[in-house]
Chain A
């Protein structure tokens, strides 16, 4: 369990917005090992989502190095990144991002369309993933026929169906009620503990972060050293 999954070195992301120079992330150094469940915490605008997007190769850094699963993402072409993302990354969004016109099983099958699997195999895999998240009886339901918590579980099934090496979750409980949020976090915890999935969770909710085995805090674009929390950080009682 010592294999490094994510390694960033002095990772920086800057951009110009309305003529203002914005430093979204500055010299971030992060290392995540295989099988870890790491939470990135921080208030809005602290740079946690920016870091997650850079790790998922959804954005390109301004400076610094980034190695994910041993791959230097800066050197890959657009097409190669798309293929790499499909094979190695499972992404869970805050607002689920299911395709509204496709059923639960079709949504989960989507990433498998890029593999060499046959239709029957793809459907079997998708059904298995949905059963794993407790939605074996909702295969033919459209997203609008599901509750928020169920939608997020479909999204998690979609993220794990390709058996990715890394699951990236961007505020996955942000749009959910407390009970659904608890279920989703428990599910992510199970995926980490029972299936050994490496998970990087972005959240501003201290309660959600407690499900992680390690927490890293960000403040104003800076990734604080291991164990350090922002000055005004207070943990709400459970």
Chain B
């Protein structure tokens, strides 16, 4: 049987200051990692919740982003007559031709202006986005210079308020409504009438993308293959989900940088844990000798000190998670390179991110504790007993 856990727990409590300082070092490292994970998690949620699994996004062949999609109206006409596209109750195909561009709006944080995505679409486009609800005001009307802003846009841009006007394209647009798209990235967009917008931007034929709906999950692959194989269309189709996943990759540089910084910090934290544990072994050498005389094996000593280091790092891990917890649901914005506009989303400090944080802390504790524990276990009894 092992040396009692109370022995380790109480030793950590006895040297409170050292324990707290070491745990805080580990906590800061964990908090950086968990914050980055929460950011990526939030961005992923924003894109994932924007996607409907039955929606298929079609763009010009070779295009990777809607902004550079370039889909011609004639292609859309051919596309919407394709078999396999779901139809509404009145028989019209659930296919939406859309134009996406970026405008510059001054925000509270950035008075010089920040890029915001504007999407021109028809009523079918709204039908295909069940997650988007009008929260205030009303939807824009066809043929009018009216816009509906996402709730994040309304929150961050002073001009994007109902009753006010936005200036883009060939003139001013009335803000007539604010939409709520749950947690999704659509909150960071501005919706307006497709034809009005294409006129303003002189893009009567070169539009961005088409969103089409299939009736059921089994038809998804068939329609994608059919579109991709159709030489006339010269288009690429993928599920809306796949497209949104690729958008999440825009957070990859931040994720890599965050993980890199965390690893650098972890090296320091591991050394701090190691230093603390070496001091503990040195201070308790006589106890090590006594435990050995009582019959505890070298293995028990090693396990005990190693476990103490893990406990110390666990405390750091939990503290780190607690430090980041207030960030949960805090809204932040991130410029994505695929849309060249700012996406607003909430930090999501979920159980998975916290579990990774705690596991990371335990790895630090394991690295920091192994060598001191080994040193304690290797001590000869008489040497240990004579150490002060």
Binding site for B on A (CB under 8 A): 53, 56, 58-59, 78-79, 82-83, 85-87, 91, 93, 97, 99-102, 106, 110-111, 113-114, 158
Contact = CB atoms under 8 A, between A and B. Distances in A.
B292 A82 contact: yes
B286 interface: yes
B382 interface: yes
27 contacts: A56-B293, A58-B293, A59-B381, A59-B382, A78-B298, A79-B298, A82-B292, A82-B296, A82-B297, A82-B298, A85-B295, A86-B295, A87-B295, A91-B293, A91-B294, A97-B290, A99-B7, A99-B291, A100-B14, A101-B6, A101-B7, A101-B10, A102-B10, A106-B6, A113-B3, A113-B4, A158-B294
B218 interface: no
Nearest to B297: A82
A86 B294 contact: yes
A91 B294 CA distance: 8
A interface SS class: helix
B285 to A, nearest CB: 11
B89 interface: no
Nearest to B286: A97
Contacts of B217: none
Nearest to A99: B287
B371 to A, nearest CB: 20
Given A79-B297, A86-B294, A99-B290, A58 B4 contact: no
A111 B195 CA distance: 86
Interface string B322-352: 0000000000000000000000000000000
A126 to B, nearest CB: 12
Contacts of A93: 290, 385
A58 B208 CA distance: 82
Nearest to A87: B295
A11 to B, nearest CB: 16
Contact of A113 (B1, B287, B299): B1
Contacts of B291: 99, 110
Contacts of B381: 58-59
Contacts of A78: 297-298
